[in-house]
Amino acid sequence: MAPHTRCLADATIHVPRHLFIPAQAWAKPAGTGAGHWIDREADPATWWRAVCSDTVVFTQLDDGRTELTPENAAKTYAPTCSASSPLLVNAFLRHLAPRSGDRVLEVGTGTGWTAGLLSYLTGGPEQVVSVDIDAGLSAAAAANLRSAGLAPRLVVGEGEAGVPGLAPFDRTHVTCGVRQIPYTWVEQTRPGGVIVMPYAPVMRLLRLKVRGDGTAVGRFHEECAFMVLRGQRSRPAGGDVDADTEPRVRKLKRDPATLLHPPPGLQVLFDTVVGDTPWGTEDGIITPLGDGLSRATVRGDQVTQTGPRDLWDTAERIHDAWLGLGRPGLERMGVTVTPEEQFVWLDDPAVPLSYTRN
């Protein structure tokens, strides 16, 4: 088969996922909240079922500080490395569209599976450079890749810095959530090249194309959930709400249910400006969480707002503005990155979407 005809279906056959899954791990089938332990020796059928299905497999907890055990994985310890959902991996690679001969930078080596798939799709492991901040994960990925007969270049370092000494790249593939897009990735991707990443403010796949003027412009695609780049992790939402400000209580001006299930376009605005989409609990309480310093909580016909920002007021203004703009959807929205700034836009990639943040 000629290299230029290689496709994702071929890649998953030649670089099988099972070579990148440890004998023991925590599996979470896509679309479910429940997880379970898998052990290749003790229960091979369950292990293979997880490996060969659309299941996320967690391989590290708490940056490796907490041992991966059934008890720890079932608790609230944060997973910090996983073999992502195969369907989501496929979606990212489809949008990246690597071709034979392309040079690819991957940010976030993880288990090494996508580095292996990229090696096949580009025609050779020498075309792929994968960087990860965790030396232990990088070493494990190297062993996994060797078992597949592959040896892309693995670098231990800060993903935000990229790998300037090996640039430029034709494609940049990011496997961790990104709150603020490092301009270094744009600099290290040639004009006409593509950057694909999980854009963490809205947790959607973002595909950017680099332009000759040093900017990158792109649009939102599939929903996704990825662990955030280590250098960009925020405090737990709501965990550090500012207690020094007096709570501000007022009557609601509208039915809060209108904000609970926003269409994708409105959700992008909520997530970008407020920090999260308002969400409800079983007891009827509705809360939008922001940057960890502010909170708005709705009970009955009243809203209580604390911290420096009046989040519910902001959410209502965003909703009104969205209605006034004609209820725009994702097809009218995107992101632009320049050396000086990055912003969400509506219709025109050169003009930041205006909104009130107060």
Of the candidates 53, 82, 84, 85, the residue annotated as catalytic is 84
Q: Give the lowest-confidence range in 5-19, 69-83, 173-187, 282-296.
A: 282-296
pLDDT digits (tens, 9 = 90+) for 118-143: 999 999 999 999 999 999 999 999 99
pLDDT of residue 236: 45
The answer to whether residue 329 sits within a structural domain is no
Looking at the fold, whether 144 and 223 belong to one and the same domain comes out as yes
The answer to whether residue 107 sits within a structural domain is yes
Mark which of 25, 54, 83 sits at the end of a domain. Answer: 83
Looking at the fold, whether 253 and 199 belong to one and the same domain comes out as no
pLDDT of residue 290: 63
Looking at the fold, whether 130 and 259 belong to one and the same domain comes out as no
Which pLDDT band, with edges at 50, 70 and 90, does 2 fall under?
Answer: very low
pTM: 0.89
Distance CA 37, CA 68 (A): 10
The parent domain of residue 56 ranges over 3-83
The total of structural domains in the chain comes to 3
pLDDT digits (tens, 9 = 90+) for 171-215: 999 999 998 999 999 999 999 999 999 998 888 999 999 999 999
Looking at the fold, whether 58 and 141 belong to one and the same domain comes out as no
Q: Give the lowest-confidence range in 143-152, 207-216, 236-245, 281-290.
A: 236-245
The answer to whether residue 358 sits within a structural domain is no
Mean per-residue pLDDT for 141-160? 97
Q: Give the lowest-confidence range in 71-75, 266-270, 353-357.
A: 353-357
Average pLDDT, the chain: 90
Distance CA 58, CA 79 (A): 6
The answer to whether residue 94 sits within a structural domain is yes
Which tokens belong to 272?
Answer: 């970008």
- From residue 317, alpha-carbon distances to 62, 202, 212 in Å are 38, 19, 37
Mean per-residue pLDDT for 141-150? 98
Looking at the fold, whether 141 and 219 belong to one and the same domain comes out as yes
CA pseudo-torsion sign 78, 140, 116, 212: positive
pLDDT of residue 275: 77
Looking at the fold, whether 135 and 75 belong to one and the same domain comes out as no
Using CB atoms within 10 Å of the CB of residue 73, give its burial: 0 to 12 exposed, 13 to 18 middle, 19+ buried: buried
Does pLDDT of 355 surpass 70?
A: no
Looking at the fold, whether 197 and 252 belong to one and the same domain comes out as no
Mark which of 83, 101, 136 sits at the end of a domain. Answer: 83
pLDDT digits (tens, 9 = 90+) for 279-331: 777 676 777 766 678 888 898 899 999 989 898 999 999 999 999 999 999 99
Looking at the fold, whether 97 and 205 belong to one and the same domain comes out as yes
Looking at the fold, whether 92 and 79 belong to one and the same domain comes out as no
Active site residue 100: no
